[in-house]
Structure 1
Amino acid sequence: MPRLVALRLPDDVYRELEERARREGFPLVSDYIRYLVLRELGLLGEERSVEALVERAVSEKLRELAGEGKLEVTPPDVEKLASRLERRIQDMINPWTAKIDSLSAKLAEAIERLEALEDRLKSLEEAVEAQRRQEQPPPPRAPVQPAPGERAAGREHHRGRRRSAIERLREQGVVFEHEVHWLRDRDAFFEKLRREGALVLDLGGERVAVDRGFWENFREKVEQLPTANDEEIRMLLTDAQYELFKRLKEAGLVYFDASRKAWRFVEEPEPG
């Protein structure tokens, strides 16, 4: 348990102790007296002695410099601090600036692609409209009114005459076998069309009869198709042409040449 020791000293002795304590770096006289007692008794460690010596040397040097006017407190350089702060802020902002620039570039690219798609869609619409105008049949001529006797004879002749299979094929352009499934002898039907000049193709196990004129027009349009997109092709072809095109593509008889960006037929069908 620590003990307290009280000393009564003359003023001159106290002032001497106070001066020495100050030189030794002790803030209080009591700390200095305690230090002296422990040192004399050999109870003061080496570490504390060195620490006291260092503190004393530093204190004396500071007092010496302050007394000679060599110790000055330099105010901070505001411009340097501002410059360092500006660089630090710029380093923090730069990554976000790069991201914003990247997003701006991507947005500009997306807008450019949208504009290109709009131009392409407009071109397709114009091509479809032009194709429809070309395929639109001419207006029918006003029929010549026959005489009463001729009219009756004509009705009798019309009722007595039925259109042949090749005539119906010329009107339709193409006939798929599943469309005439009701025929009893489909072999004879397609063979007759072949003999009369129609193209008869075997597409995936189904026979397809194609009128020669229809085929030539169809082939020319397919070879001029400017796209490989199925939806765009559907818009550029008639329903019958698109159905035939789809079946030919499934059978591998027509393909898209990517190097020439055009459709090519594998081979010309054998004449019927």
Structure 2
Amino acid sequence: MSEKRKRPLTLYLDEDLYKALVDLSSREGFSSLSDFVIKVLRDRVSGFEKTVLEDTIKTKISRIVQDEINKHMQLIESLRRQVADLYERVESIQEIIEQLRTSQRAEEERASRKTKKTGIERLKEDKVVFESTLPMKINREAFFNYLEREGAVIIVTSKERIAVDPEFWNKFKDALFDKITTNNEDEIRKLLGDKGFILFQKLREDNQVIYDPLSKRWRNLVNVKGVS
């Protein structure tokens, strides 16, 4: 291997610096001041190259790391936007659901108001209402007073009050007191119907209708408060 080409370098130093170099060269064990100066220069240049290399590597590593961080930050930002969008959609769906629920409740309330019937309307359908069958929560006194004001027939027995639809009551009286000529229950049920027969039984138990075997007629002793 051929020896590297060498170039001369001439330095002009003041007396103090020269003496200092000679002294350092001697203490470092160099027999030649030139060798000592070459070593100092070589170490300096080597250290500089190493520093430059390290700085270059650090710069590249920093750039790579920053690029990766940027990529991950972009991904995180994208995820954040997606999550925020998802929350907005969920809130929008919840608002729609709540609106539908509110609309449904309003519709149910309207339907309830339409289908909810008054006491007198229910009596017209049921024909007869017995006090003993009313729910406990109903104020009985107020209920029967209301039905009486609305024209219902109110029958008072020893055990309870009975509200009867006026039209049904007229048909009941006509059948029981004018047409029926027997005390046979099967025949009476046929003419009065199931509801009329139940009313008949209640009145008979309270001695408000009595059968006269001579005339073969039922006597009307019904205690009516309303329309007779």
Q: TM-score, normalised by structure 2?
A: 0.47
Larger Rg: 2
Q: TM-score, normalised by structure 1?
A: 0.40
